[in-house]
Structure 1
Amino acid sequence: MNKKLKEKISEALSSVLPITLIVLFLSIFVVPLSTDTVLLFFVGAVLLIVGMGLFTLGVEMSMMPMGEAIGSKFTKAKKIWMIILSTFLMGFLITIAEPDLDVLASQVASIPDDVIIFTVAAGVGVFLVIAILRIIFQVSFSKLVIGLYIFVFALAIFVPDDFLPVSFDSGGVTTGPITVPFILALGVGLASRSNDKDANENSFGLVALCSIGPIIAVMLLGIIYHPSEATYDPVIVPQLDTMQDVAKVFAHELPIIVGEVARALLPLGIVFILFQLFTKQFRKRQLMKMSVGFIYTFAGLVLFLTGVNAGFIPVGKLLGSELASENLRILLIPLGMLIGYFIVAAEPAVHVLNKQVEDVSDGEISAKALKYTLSIGVAISVGLAMLRVLTGLHIMWFLIPLYGIALALSFFVPKIYVGIAFDSGGVASGPMTSTFLLPFAMGACEAVGGNIMSDAFGIVAMVAVVPLIAVQVLGLIYSTNVRLFKSKATEADSFPVLLGEEDE
């Protein structure tokens, strides 16, 4: 096996093993689960580990170089309309193929799936254009984000209550494993050609802005269609009697996922081919390496999504419903936080963000520190989401103050941390959130007799907002420590000089 691939699978194992052991512990000592259900989960975990290893290696070999090359070419384009048109088309095509978008579309009543998909894709396309133009014209990220979120919360007043959590969830769901690596690399490529002293800071923030587009798009659909209710697809836990039944579950899911991933990567492949034909950017050896990378990305994403869809969804639903029973309800919040802490490490795009941050900052911001910060943020997010499930509190009682704190912090934190923080929200709320945490919340909500659409949905939005605060707090602590260190170093340097002057 390729040495690099071994390394990636080993990293994936260390990321997925904690959540696997937690589920095993809960199934033995707290919530007894049937052997076949636990087996389903473990087979899913194995596929997830191998898939994540292949995916992260494939992204490094193909999607990151392609995104950076396209981003750097944009800075050389003299016609602004060409940048706007090509950026919109890329954002639209990549989003329309995002596997998680189909899941979102099926949750909304009274609105055709195609209308949801095309509208959300257009929202991402428009906001990717805004993100690119912000870098080119050096517009303040903080001021732009504050203005956009003020508009979002003003618009929320007119959106039906049952539709509101789905609207906010859409921002996290649509920035998934396909869009995030490409958009992150695009930002790095754009910033790399800039002579601006804030080039590193400007390389982040694209994912954050692209997450706002779907929220506004789905809100507008809610206002236009004004559906009387928003339905959801109930999670069905399969009845399994033999190992053959377990194999059939994965065999049934595999071809569906293959089709979704093929459709997801096809637009990127077309963009890459057209880019290469017009620019001749990559040499033959690079093209071969990137082609292998695309194969790794495809295979990894198929295994990953098959594992989480077939193995994690039913277990998430069962754990949530059992922990919300009257006898165990007191454990729902702390155990939800524990699951949230470890599950974010299994998000494939989180690994991409961590590496990107470490590379761009030349190691000053370590991937390890960012990983632990995101874990803490997601743990708090899930705790608050479980509180909503138990109490039925309106989502706005959480989102308004949390976004208020995040936006206020942006004035006091170094710019690079602001961009990273707002990107981290979209990155943390990926497929693991929608395929494990959302069914977990739905199962718990069903058990307590709550409204699933208003109380369980919104967990993706919660996971997307708290990391904004956590990463900025990390930036505040880091920048304070750096200032203190420099201050002490200056004092130490000046002390011997003063002594020497006195001796003379």
Structure 2
Amino acid sequence: MNEFLEHLKHSFRNLLPIIAVVTFFQLVVMRELPDGLASMSLGLLVVVFGVALFLQGLELGIFPVGKGLSNDFARRGSLPLLMVFGFCLGFSAVVAEPALIAVATQAETISEGRIDGLTLRLLVALSVGGVVAIGVLRTILGQSLHWYMICGYVLVVTVTFFAPPEIVGLAYDSGGVTTNIVTVPLIAALGIGLAASIRGRNPLMHGFGLVALAVMVPMISVQLYGIWVYSFAEVADVASAAAGAAAFVDAQVVEKTAGSMVLGMITDLAGMFRDVAPIIMVILVFQYMVLQKSIPHLPKVMAGFVLVIVGLYAFVVGLKLGLFPIGTSMATQLVALDTFLWVYLFAFSIGFATTMAEPALIAIGSQAEEAAKGKLNGNRIRLLVAVGVAVGITIGVHRIITGDSIHYYIMGGYTLVIALTAFAPKYIVPLAFDLGGVTTSEVTVPLVTALGIGLATNIEGRNVLIDGFGLIAFASIFPIVTVMLYAIIAERVMRTEEGATS
């Protein structure tokens, strides 16, 4: 109970920046109180409670199981078995991911069926499964992540150059939404547990990186799919795209369930269990049928998984009640102002605030601090990532406002990332790329998606399919830049100080 109360206090402190941003823009810029203020306040309290439950559940269930399975497989010494487990875990964690389902449905709607939603989901899930298996192999062999990421993103940039504009933003967003509030800690626990159990492996250098690979490869596969699709299909109609986008935002913001409120809550909670069920099935099959071992402290682990699901449900419900309605309406209100300056300021502020409140980032920051053994500070990492997300979303909003092509922004951003990867200290590269992935989770994705589509819908001359997507990509790129820049500068300062003392 004491641990839960600490998580509760921590969750409330993390949401304060969001409350401050919303309050400032409503009272100072809009100069009016939003409708449904009581509902929004209740939603924020539910978010605080949900995050606390989620973090408690992680410590009780997901982290111990992930690390335990990794240790058992490492002791088995079977590389094929480990890679099969990695593939199944990656595939099951993504194929039922709610954010991916939403993006795939949206893409099918506004492309008038040229992009098939189920095909897109399977393609992304297969990509993640395959790349997690490769990431497990990298950890076992003790290979540096540098060349994986440099070669991978050179391929990403090359494919982006040839990809049609309709698919680029969607492809990068599809890569971003593969890393959610449940899958990130589980995949990270797999990598860290595996590295910790193999002699000669460093948990910081070899344990992190699976999330980064899971973000990168879907970007390539979806763009290749888009090149094929748009070579044999007609151009989508802009008007129908806008209508589809509006329907998507409505579904994200005010998703309604037929019947009573209690029935709706039970249905939504059952949906959360359904989304996590593939992950649980993979764990049970490998634990009991392959390893033929029982799960240690099973009641405690089961309680942890229940807390994760209930906490996640409360978190999402709280966001819908508290932040989604005002976030969507504010996008429209800000565009209606005389200057876009407030749009830029809101983009920066909300990017920073939502990232500071991101539960997956809190979890990864704590794991990184533990793995680094005092070399890194979890709160400093979160601050660097939040600044990167804020800068990235601001640049992405600027692209929508000006109507510039996303190609050059994305290619320029990842060219910078590739260059920094070559110069950054090896210990920081896996973590930096993983942090770029965890910024696109349950808090950031819906708010950023609503902002991008809202701007593209309300600014004349913008195509929702081309301009509405892509903000998530910007939210992923720039945290990698800020974290690696910090590590490069910190290492040079340390060398200078050591040279001066000697």
Q: Does 1:482 align with 2:494?
A: yes
Instruction: Compare CA radii of gyration and give the structure with the larger one.
Output: 1
- Of the three residues 400, 404, 410, the one matched with 1:389 is 400
Instruction: Tell me the TM-score normalised to structure 1 length.
Output: 0.89
Match in the other structure for 1:196: 200
Is the Cα–Cα contact under 8 Å of residues 413 and 475 in structure 1 kept in the other structure?
A: yes
* Cα separation, partners in 2 of 1:151 and 1:326, compared to 1, 3 Å: same
Is the Cα–Cα contact under 8 Å of residues 165 and 407 in structure 2 kept in the other structure?
A: no
Match in the other structure for 1:211: 215
- Of the three residues 247, 250, 261, the one matched with 1:236 is 250
Q: Does 1:15 align with 2:19?
A: no
Letter in 1 for 2:101: D
Tell me how far apart the structure 1 counterparts of residues 229 and 36 of structure 2 sit (CA, whole Å).
40
* Cα separation, partners in 2 of 1:63 and 1:237, compared to 1, 3 Å: closer
Residue correspondence of structure 1 range 359-370 to structure 2 within 5 A? 359-370=370-381
Residue correspondence of structure 1 range 330-369 to structure 2 within 5 A? 330-369=341-380
Which is worse superposed, 341-350 or 267-276? 267-276
1:488 Cα shift? 4.6
Show CA shifts across 1:35-54 (max 9, x none).
Answer: 43444432322221111111
Match in the other structure for 2:40: 41
Letter in 2 for 1:61: L
Runs of at least 5 residues in structure 2 that lack an aligned partner in the other structure: none
Tell me how far apart the structure 1 counterparts of residues 6 and 413 of structure 2 sit (CA, whole Å).
37
Show CA shifts across 1:335-354 (max 9, x none).
Answer: 21112111101211111111
- Of the three residues 372, 376, 381, the one matched with 2:387 is 376
Residue correspondence of structure 1 range 103-252 to structure 2 within 5 A? 103-109=102-108, 110=113, 111-196=115-200, 198-226=202-230, 228-229=235-236, 231=241, 232-234=244-246, 235-236=249-250
- Of the three residues 444, 454, 472, the one matched with 2:466 is 454
Show CA shifts across 1:2-53 (max 9, x none).
Answer: 1111111111111112211221222222125664344443232222111111
Letter in 1 for 2:418: L
Letter in 2 for 1:143: W
SS of residue paired to 1:75: helix
SS of residue paired to 1:467: helix
Letter in 2 for 1:179: T
Is the Cα–Cα contact under 8 Å of residues 123 and 216 in structure 1 kept in the other structure?
A: no
Tell me how far apart the structure 2 counterparts of residues 95 and 250 of structure 1 sit (CA, whole Å).
29
Match in the other structure for 2:426: 415
Which is worse superposed, 9-18 or 110-119? 110-119
Instruction: Tell me the TM-score normalised to structure 2 length.
Output: 0.90
Tell me how far apart the structure 2 counterparts of residues 366 and 282 of structure 1 sit (CA, whole Å).
36
Show CA shifts across 1:109-143 (max 9, x none).
Answer: 22332222212111110111111111122333111
Which is worse superposed, 362-371 or 133-142? 133-142
* Cα separation, partners in 2 of 1:38 and 1:388, compared to 1, 3 Å: farther
* Cα separation, partners in 2 of 1:197 and 1:127, compared to 1, 3 Å: closer
SS of residue paired to 1:177: coil
Is the Cα–Cα contact under 8 Å of residues 91 and 124 in structure 1 kept in the other structure?
A: yes
Q: Does 1:463 align with 2:475?
A: yes
Letter in 1 for 2:407: M
Tell me how far apart the structure 1 counterparts of residues 475 and 213 of structure 2 sit (CA, whole Å).
16
Match in the other structure for 1:52: 51
- Of the three residues 308, 315, 321, the one matched with 2:332 is 321
Which is worse superposed, 414-423 or 249-258? 249-258
Match in the other structure for 1:4: 3
Tell me how far apart the structure 1 counterparts of residues 295 and 441 of structure 2 sit (CA, whole Å).
34
Show CA shifts across 1:450-500 (max 9, x none).
Answer: 2222223100000000001001012112222333344455x3xxxxxxxxx
Letter in 1 for 2:128: V
SS of residue paired to 1:219: helix
1:438 Cα shift? 1.7
Q: Does 1:299 align with 2:313?
A: no
Match in the other structure for 2:73: 74
* Cα separation, partners in 2 of 1:159 and 1:260, compared to 1, 3 Å: farther
1:390 Cα shift? 1.0
Is the Cα–Cα contact under 8 Å of residues 249 and 310 in structure 1 kept in the other structure?
A: no
Is the Cα–Cα contact under 8 Å of residues 440 and 472 in structure 2 kept in the other structure?
A: yes
Is the Cα–Cα contact under 8 Å of residues 208 and 423 in structure 1 kept in the other structure?
A: yes
Tell me how far apart the structure 1 counterparts of residues 452 and 264 of structure 2 sit (CA, whole Å).
23
Is the Cα–Cα contact under 8 Å of residues 337 and 382 in structure 1 kept in the other structure?
A: yes
Tell me how far apart the structure 2 counterparts of residues 256 and 314 of structure 1 sit (CA, whole Å).
22
Tell me how far apart the structure 1 counterparts of residues 9 and 283 of structure 2 sit (CA, whole Å).
30
Match in the other structure for 1:438: 449
1:282 Cα shift? 6.0
Is the Cα–Cα contact under 8 Å of residues 257 and 305 in structure 1 kept in the other structure?
A: no
* Cα separation, partners in 2 of 1:33 and 1:382, compared to 1, 3 Å: farther
Q: Does 1:425 align with 2:436?
A: yes
Which is worse superposed, 225-234 or 454-463? 225-234
Show CA shifts across 1:42-75 (max 9, x none).
Answer: 2322221111111111112111111112222333
How many residue pairs are counted as aligned between the two chains? 484
Tell me how far apart the structure 1 counterparts of residues 352 and 459 of structure 2 sit (CA, whole Å).
24
Tell me how far apart the structure 2 counterparts of residues 320 and 35 of structure 1 sit (CA, whole Å).
13
SS of residue paired to 2:490: helix
Tell me how far apart the structure 2 counterparts of residues 255 and 387 of structure 1 sit (CA, whole Å).
41
Tell me how far apart the structure 2 counterparts of residues 310 and 108 of structure 1 sit (CA, whole Å).
25
Show CA shifts across 1:205-260 (max 9, x none).
Answer: 110001112212322332232253394442239999xxxx9xx9976863453233
Is the Cα–Cα contact under 8 Å of residues 252 and 446 in structure 2 kept in the other structure?
A: no
Tell me how far apart the structure 1 counterparts of residues 261 and 117 of structure 2 sit (CA, whole Å).
26
